[in-house]
Amino acid sequence: MNCSYLVFFLGVFKRGITLLLTVLFVVLFVMQDLVSVCICTCNSSLYIRETLKSVIDQTYTNMEILILDNWSLDNTCDIIKSFNDKRIILYKMSKNIGAYNWLNYLMDRAKWKYIAIQDHDDIWLKSKIEKQVYFLNNNLNYVGCWTRTCMWFEYDWKCYDRDFGVNSTYVIHPSLMFRNSLKRYDPDRTYMADCYFMQEILCSWKKLMFNIPEVLTIHRIRSWLWNYSYNWFKLNRLNLSTLFKVHNFFYAFLVLGFELFRKIFYPWIQERRLVKIERLPFILMWYKIYNVRNKFRFLHSPTSI
């Protein structure tokens, strides 16, 4: 009788240890590496299907996809719901809560170890998240990482690959992945708010973000430069403060002059000339300009349909 009790308790003990080890494995090696993808949409029915498909098709699948719809008046939400993916969590706003309040809203609800930012009209290549998670897991001294980014001008399908060097404090926003923390965007800033968040809040002016030297993000520059940050530029104290904080004194003056040039002259310039002006500084820096179709044949533009 005593022997049978011993065998019974040993069996229970063995099952308990097995269950405990399984839970520990899930917590330590699966749950902790989950990624919270944050996307805000606003009247993006022409683009959100392609963007969201590029997120869902990632080779790395351990993620939640948090989407905040910022008071869209088109069928953006219907398109999102049509994917029927359990990883998607959709929040709908009944009013516009501002450009970066939405990101803070989603980050407050992000549960997992890493946060990846995506815009509602940009595209990720399939291995982006997988390579970023691998890097951050093996390089604890970095707060985040980004990928080389294809800057695609929708007007004429020309593009160049943007690079900030190996280590940096600023990256192309939709290529960014960083460790989840209590750090948030400054909701009072709109102009260059992403740059301010990365340099001042996330990195504390140290080069703590690594560039994965491979094009894994495609940033769409829409027709008439509609989604360019200069559209948010106003000549006020807060914008000037942001500009001179994120750039050195000399470069900030150059940017300020260019922003004023955009505001004054861009409304009167033909679109084909606008994109040439925008690409000119990168041509002078020896960036190679090429046709995006030659490299990424799967892309399409609603303006060309």
Q: What is the predicted pLDDT for the residue at 201?
A: 94
Residue 171 in tokens: 């990256």
Q: How far apart are CA 166 and CA 171, in angstroms?
A: 11
Is domain 34-304 classified as CATH 3.90.550.10? yes
- Taking 3-state DSSP, the helix, strand and coil percentages for the chain, each rounded to the nearest 5, stand at 45, 20, 35
Q: What is the predicted pLDDT for the residue at 21?
A: 64
Q: What is the predicted pLDDT for the residue at 305?
A: 42
* pLDDT at position 151 over 60: yes
Longest dimension (CA), the chain: 96
The pTM for the full model equals 0.87
Annotated domain spans of the chain: 34-304
Q: What is the predicted pLDDT for the residue at 22?
A: 57
**Which residues neighbour 165 within 8 Å (Cβ) at sequence distance 6 or greater?**
211
Q: How far apart are CA 174 and CA 162, in angstroms?
A: 13
Q: How far apart are CA 147 and CA 131, in angstroms?
A: 9
Q: What is the predicted pLDDT for the residue at 24?
A: 57
What percent of the chain clears pLDDT 90, i.e. is strictly above it?
69
Q: What are the tens digits of pLDDT across the range 110-137?
A: 999 999 999 999 999 999 999 999 999 9
Which residue type is seen at 245? K
Q: How far apart are CA 134 and CA 4, in angstroms?
A: 49
User: Could you tell me the sign of the dihedral formed by the alpha carbons of 104, 110, 112, 117, in that order?
Assistant: negative
Q: How far apart are CA 108 and CA 119, in angstroms?
A: 18
Q: What is the predicted pLDDT for the residue at 11?
A: 66
Q: Share the mean pLDDT of the chain.
A: 89
